[in-house]
């Protein structure tokens, strides 16, 4: 059942990610501030993870930087429309597809790593790129993307009300 529903849930995530949405001020502001609060928690947990994965904090920082840049590009590609006092936005399909593919790749890589660890006594060198530090980089991409996109949407919403 899980194998059937997972691709369906990824497809639904893609469809909802590129759907036209209304920029509600309180929702955008709340998301922006909550994402900002999660940033030091993420960095602190990445720092703690350096005990087991020495490059976790570095990878988290690189992932955050890539995510912020990707979020800014995605915001630039987003189509905005005014309808009276309402701001509507439609995200571009390509950034949404890239992020959805990254989620799918992360799930597949996790399943592959689990299978390799069960079938082999010692991990091989090909699994090193999937170290815990690499997972913090992927998480950093999503957090950086969310921060840049939400704060950019917040600025756009504030500018449109002036």
pLDDT, one tens digit per residue, over 65-102 is 999 999 999 999 999 998 888 889 999 999 999 998 99
Domain of residue 80 covers 2-161
CA 122 to the chain's CA centroid: 31
pLDDT of residue 125: 55
CB 21 within 8 A of CB 89: yes
pTM of the model: 0.85
pLDDT of residue 80: 92
**106 CB contacts (<8 Å, ≥6 apart)?**
135, 138
pLDDT of residue 44: 96
Cα angle: 100, vertex 15, 78; to 5 degrees: 80
pLDDT, one tens digit per residue, over 98-156 is 998 998 888 888 777 777 777 776 656 555 556 666 789 999 999 999 999 999 999 99
| Counted domains in the chain | 1
- The whole-angstrom separation of Cα 13 and Cα 142 is 14
Say which DSSP state 83 is in: E
């Amino acid at each position: 059942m899980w194998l059937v529903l997972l691709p369906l849930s990824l497809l639904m995530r893609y469809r909802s990610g590129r759907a036209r949405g209304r920029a509600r001020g309180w929702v955008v502001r709340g998301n922006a501030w909550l994402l900002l609060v999660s940033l030091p928690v993420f960095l602190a947990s990445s720092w703690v993870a350096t005990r087991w994965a020495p490059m976790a904090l570095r990878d988290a920082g690189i992932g955050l930087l890539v995510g912020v840049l990707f979020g800014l590009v995605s915001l630039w590609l987003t189509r905005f429309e005014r309808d009276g006092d309402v701001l509507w936005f439609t995200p571009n399909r390509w950034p949404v597809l890239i992020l959805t593919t990254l989620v799918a790749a992360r799930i597949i890589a996790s399943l592959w790593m689990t299978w390799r660890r069960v079938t082999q006594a010692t991990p091989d060198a090909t699994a090193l790129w999937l170290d815990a530090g690499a997972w913090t980089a992927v998480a950093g991409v999503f957090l950086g993307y969310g921060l840049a996109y939400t704060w950019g949407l917040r600025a756009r919403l504030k500018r449109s009300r002036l």
